[in-house]
Chain A
Amino acid sequence: AQSVTQLDSQVPVFEEAPVELRCNYSSSVSVYLFWYVQYPNQGLQLLLKYLSGSTLVKGINGFEAEFNKSQTSFHLRKPSVHISDTAEYFCAVSDPSGSEKLVFGKGTKLTVNP
């Protein structure tokens, strides 16, 4: 079975500071990896995904993530955050050879302060 661990439940940062949201996964097979963002009272929106190929993946809103197979990690980064980045961020994994259902972590609440 697959699982995802998001190591930080809350991350407060100041505007224009860099941020890293950590994600580790557990799987006995190769995986697809995703980061979703959820704004208050909204559904989830895809930020970026890793399917194969280059381990550095760029997404929307200036976010990027790096797939590290040896460390089973997929950390999300942004060099300079804005107030509008305040939201909940979810890391998810799916099995390419299975039904492709998403298994989510518990989420990281990013709060950007002025």
Chain B
Amino acid sequence: EAGVAQSPRYKIIEKRQSVAFWCNPISGHATLYWYQQILGQGPKLLIQFQNNGVVDDSQLPKDRFSAERLKGVDSTLKIQPAKLEDSAVYLCASSLGQGVRGTEAFFGQGTRLTVV
């Protein structure tokens, strides 16, 4: 079974530029998460989708971050404009969702973003 796919693996941009990350979840997984992991910290949820609807985006900096999940499958996360403090690893995860409680969230390898 294929895992959660993310691209690119690494990205270096200058501050004030824009960047986009892509995620393809495990087939059949209804729930998709984007987490931000700053060096030395645990992952922090940015946004959670159930199919193509947003469940939780309370910690997403909406003035610069946006995310979409078209057709309830792939997802993109965009930052525009980027700030130095956005340097982090962006992790995508997926789980069965659909009311199945306590299911495991499977994580991709992440995209390491460096803003200079």
Contacts and interface: CB of A to CB of B under 8 A. Distances in A.
B55 interface: yes
Could you say which interface size class chain B belongs to? 20 to 34
B14 interface: no
Contact of B42 (A32, A96, A101, A105): A105
Contacts of B31: 100
A106 B42 contact: yes
Given A99-B48, A101-B56, A41 B42 contact: no
B43 A90 contact: yes
A87 to B, nearest CB: 14
Contact of A51 (B33, B91, B101): B101
Given A51-B102, A99-B48, A99-B56, A42 B43 contact: no
A45 B45 contact: no
B109 interface: yes
Interface residues of A, number: 23
A100 B105 CA distance: 10
A44 interface: yes
A96 B101 contact: yes
Contacts of B106: 46
A90 B93 CA distance: 15
Contacts of B91: 43-44
Given A49-B104, A90-B42, A104-B43, 8 more contacts: A43-B93, A43-B107, A49-B102, A51-B101, A96-B102, A100-B31, A100-B102, A104-B44
Interface of A: 4, 32, 36, 41-46, 49, 51, 90, 92, 96, 99-107
22 contacts: A4-B42, A32-B102, A43-B93, A43-B109, A43-B110, A44-B107, A46-B104, A46-B106, A49-B102, A49-B104, A99-B55, A100-B95, A100-B101, A101-B45, A101-B48, A102-B43, A102-B105, A103-B45, A104-B42, A107-B40, A107-B41, A107-B42
Interface of B: 4, 31, 33, 40-45, 48, 55-56, 91, 93, 95, 101-102, 104-110
